[in-house]
Structure 1
Amino acid sequence: MRYIDLHRQSAVRAVLLKSPQIALRLLAASVISRDGLWLARPEMQDGARHEATASSIVAGKASGVFAAEQSEVRMLLGLPGVGYLTAAEYGSVNLPKLFAKLLTLPDDDVLRVLTFLMAETLPAGSEAVEILGHLLAVDMREWWTPDEAFLDLLRDKPAINAMLAELAGKQAAHIHVAKTAAVQKGAIRHCLAGTGGRTKVEGWLPRYLGFPMQSYTKRKGLRAVDNWNAVKKLFS
């Protein structure tokens, strides 16, 4: 009956407060199995609506590093197969078996599992991404290179012209300012490839990709910029 269940649960959780190592292992098992009150889910990067975006993410260096760690963590826990560590549905991972396995692992391995779980469930476009990018001093030049998917998504002509100025200089950008976005993006492609008489530019990082994100115009509406501005005083 509910009376008995609640009293027993109340006593167990009070005693659990003095056993953080056991609690951490049960936490990991609960998040992975989605058992009990935990409903964590992974950021579905491979479910991007835009096919070119999905392909760009999969081809990126960061995805390769993440996939390698994902495979190693699954092996560490004795979980077969590939894919997200967080269970796709309730019951697909047995909590008691996983908890028992975690109890045999040293603290460093458990922290490795928890670190991976946090990374896997980190929401794209969130305040947490902006905060971590700042705290970890993430240099996007190590993880991203310009590709067609990025250029194809550009629509804002003033922003495109500002990017051209970064790559080819203000004079070239001024010459192109009245031309179509497609023509200006073509000039950007030449700068990145070193074709069309342009000097090849290495290591270019658009303001949108850096931490913190910066805008190319005075218009508001960039969520990542707003997210960081709302919390940066807490982490300065």
Structure 2
Amino acid sequence: MAYQRLTAAKVRTAGPGVYPDGLGLYLCVSDSGSKSWIYRFSWQGRRPEMGLGSLIDVSLADAREAALEARRQVKAGINPIDAKRASKSAGVAGKTFGDAADAFFAAKQSEYSNAKYREMTRLALTRTVAAIRPLPVDRVDTEAVLSVLRPLWLETPKTARRVREKIEAVLDYASVHKLREGDNPARWRGHLEHLLPRHDKRANGHHAALPYKDAPGFFAQLGGVEGVAPRALEFTILTAARTGKPSEHNGRSSISTKSCG
């Protein structure tokens, strides 16, 4: 069989079909036009095919080099497909949740324009999840996630929710980078919502209230205190105004729509 039948021009213009380059290397073009490389070889009476990647990622020269390495393995009595799987497994086995968390943070930190939020995220992915950072990222399961969340869930609900979201994001990142497979054990809907109690939307509670009968006496004492803060509090009491921003009240303005004519 002739070697190196293909040219860069042929690879670029090839329509649907399978095109041999020689010595087991083929260019495969699907009906949709996507192009990829395969290496065919003889192994124990069979003719298995080994994928070498898409043309987008693997050039003609790279494909020839990969096929050459695979031929060397076959000649040495090694199945190149098994060797590739073993190499991939070894790479995944060496990656911990901490490795994935650090890589996720490095990839995303430029999106965090708020320095305080960026630091909170860093601490969540290091200190708060310290117990699971040494675990292989492909072995992080529901129990591992719960071991982090349970101590926080009722004590600090807001922090717990944020940490769960960060763990879920890291595991999604690991899945995209083929470091793990399967469902995300940190997913809330349809999963953790059945294992952890829902947080009361009023989990932070209301401010302590002054008994109504004590209000006149308190207001009289307030009048004798100098400063801007006492005057502001008097205004709040007299107008029943809210002290938060409109966004803190579901985005609704305190002005009645009746005033809009």
TM-score, structure 2 as length reference:
0.22
**In terms of Rg, which structure is larger?**
2
TM-score by length of 1: 0.24
Query: Which protein is richer in helix relative to its size?
Result: 1
